[in-house]
Amino acid sequence: MMPLRSGTDMAVLLPAGGALARPVVDARAVGFTERTFSPAVLGALLALFALAVAAAEAHGQPASAARAGILATLWKWAPLLFSGFLFNLLVSVLSMALGTVAGLALGLAQVSLLWPVRKGAGIVTQFFRNAPWLVLLFYCMFLLPFDVAVFGITVPLPAWFKAVIGLALPVMANVSEIVRGGVRSIPIAQWESAEALAFSRRQILWMVILPQSLKRMLPPWMNLYAILTMATTLISIVGIQDGMTLVRSALIAEQRTELFIPMYLMLLTWFFLYCYPIARLTMALERRFAVRA
């Protein structure tokens, strides 16, 4: 007898309404090598972009010798705007690195055996998780000094570095939570066996628990990176030159309203093209490393 679409093989059951009995795609059948770009989504985005440019051309003044067409103007500004976008990416990488290192330390403090350390780390984590990213950024921009004396030498802190610190603080708190969750998700049997084998607590953490939990921490960590990359646009509000600021300045230098939609769409597209593959990779990794209950 042919298996019914709902997946049961009980002959007595009639096939349910078509909608309820859709075949289930086994996630594992899709495999690890996902297509990082779904052609449909990419095509839709490019179509939207083309539509916006066409609408802008129609809406604005016709191209003349003095005023280039929309695409030509976009092309003229694209190198500068793209360098701003690259700066966003650079800030995201630096913040992520800084935040991950600090977050790892904080997360390990959160699983410490000493109650004050645990509680203190917990409070710091909750504090920086609760504060809005923009407020923390403002805080660091305005209140961090412009140089610090380290071992008697003054080290200057440029504005973009203060922004990196400002963004690294919430990353630190989130990584701390991820680490805590990861460490706690390892079955207690691992801890007990390692203890039975006379590992010290520090050795257990570094040699047994963390290596195992790294795989589980990877998807939320990559997710956090995507969120951080998108949050780097916040630095435009505190006066740092990034992709967003340059788009605004370009729009003012050109002083044509019909450029707004195409230019913002261009920036959105660049962010999308960067973050979407990361999202797909994260999803694939999640499926691969998921713990089968």
Q: 3-class SS at 148? A: strand
Residue found by looking up tokens 């230098």 in the block = 253
Of residues 146, 193, 207, 211, which one binds other proteins by CB under 8 A?
146
Of residues 104, 241, 285, 288, which one binds other proteins by CB under 8 A?
241
* Interface positions, 185-224, toward other proteins (CB under 8 A): none
Q: Could you tell me the two tokens for 197?
A: 């084998």
Smallest gap, in angstroms, from Cβ of residue 6 to other proteins? 7
Angstrom CA distances, 273 to 83, 117, 137, stand at 15, 42, 26
Q: Are 282 and 224 in contact (CB under 8 A)?
A: no
* Interface positions, 80-119, toward other proteins (CB under 8 A): 80, 83-84, 86-87, 90
* Interface positions, 37-76, toward other proteins (CB under 8 A): 38, 40-41, 44-45, 59, 61, 76
Q: Is 168 in the site for other proteins (CB under 8 A)?
A: no
Smallest gap, in angstroms, from Cβ of residue 215 to other proteins? 19
Q: Is 4 in the site for other proteins (CB under 8 A)?
A: no
Q: Closer to other proteins at the Cβ: 50 or 253?
A: 253
* Interface positions, 119-138, toward other proteins (CB under 8 A): 126-127, 130-136, 138
Q: Closer to other proteins at the Cβ: 171 or 204?
A: 171
Q: Are 134 and 166 in contact (CB under 8 A)?
A: no
